[in-house]
Amino acid sequence: MTFARRLGVVPSALVLLAAVAAAFAPALFSPADPLRGDLTRRLLPPGDGHLFGTDELGRDVLSRVVHGSAPSLQAAVIAVGIAVIAGSAIGLVAGTARGRLDDLVMRVVEVLLAVPSFLLVLVVVAVLGPGTREVAVAVGVSAAAVFSRIMRAEVIRVRGSGYVEAAAVCGTGRPTVLLTHILPNAAGPLTALATLELGNAVLTVAAVSFLGFGAPPPAPEWGSLIAAGRPFLASAWWLTTVPGLVIVTVVLAVNHLGHVLRTRSEKR
């Protein structure tokens, strides 16, 4: 195993650990009830009994961070799923339609890309209302335009290939050509982009939760945990540092995997 491959194992392990923690937090990683506080043990620093300390209500910070991984990561995954499905469908239509429909669709996509993504997320959240699912939909809608452009470009590239033209000459229907020839060959760049976009989605979901549009308290989310710890930065640094480091670690690990997938896709 080369040194580069060994470097790739660490991010993969971190992403797997985060996924397992999100799926099995109560059984495997949570030492205490994340919602149950003890005022006699409030604002304890990291140490024995509380690995990452306690918050202002005496709740275990580790348990809250672990339980916060579930809604944070689930919202990010749902957002990327919405972006991939909606963006791919739009790009597929634009890439195969050509003509005025292609021009119209791409002008709309360009308008969406011109709007700052976080501002678009806040607009959609304002329309849908606060909540984890609403945030996931908003983030997915804001990212769909990027996937539509990539899918359109891949459809146009693959559409001119010899085997696609041969299938069309043989009388293969357009839906069959799209599903069996064009779509599988366009999946590589979309997979790499989806992995990279997952890191952005984690950051965006945390930012929206930080502003108070995520799950209502006392439910823990990574962004809301950082927001709740702001008043105690001088006296209890761990309240913001621990969830912040978790977010940074997960995002960097996911982005590294996305870079690896993109590199492999470009080599094909």
**Domain ranges for the chain:** 71-197
Quick check: 71 and 22 in contact, CB under 8 A? no
Quick check: 23 and 34 in contact, CB under 8 A? no
At residue 217, the pLDDT reads 80
pLDDT at 183 over 80: no
Which has more confidence, 268 or 13?
A: 13
Which has more confidence, 34 or 28?
A: 34
Number of H helices, E strands in the chain: 10, 0
Instruction: Give long-range contacts, CB 8 A cutoff, 24+ apart: 153-156.
Output: 153/91, 153/95, 154/91, 154/95, 154/182, 154/185, 154/186, 154/189, 154/190, 155/91, 155/92, 155/94, 155/95, 155/96, 155/182, 155/186, 156/95
Class of 71-197 per CATH?
Answer: mainly alpha
Which tens digit of pLDDT belongs to each residue from 13-29? 777 777 777 777 655 66
Which tens digit of pLDDT belongs to each residue from 101-150? 888 888 888 888 888 888 889 988 988 888 888 999 999 998 999 999 88
At residue 3, the pLDDT reads 42
Confidence of residue 165 (pLDDT cuts 50, 70, 90): low
Q: Supply the mean pLDDT for the chain.
A: 83
CA angle (150, 179, 194) in 5-degree steps: 35
**Which amino acid is present at 182?**
I
Confidence of residue 207 (pLDDT cuts 50, 70, 90): very high
Q: Rounded to whole angstroms, how far apart are CA atoms 209 and 198?
A: 16
At residue 25, the pLDDT reads 62
pLDDT at 253 over 60: yes
**Which phi and psi (to 5°) does residue 50 adopt?**
-140, 95
Q: Which of 15, 13, 36 is nearest to 26 (CA)?
A: 36
pLDDT at 79 over 90: yes
Which has more confidence, 227 or 192?
A: 227
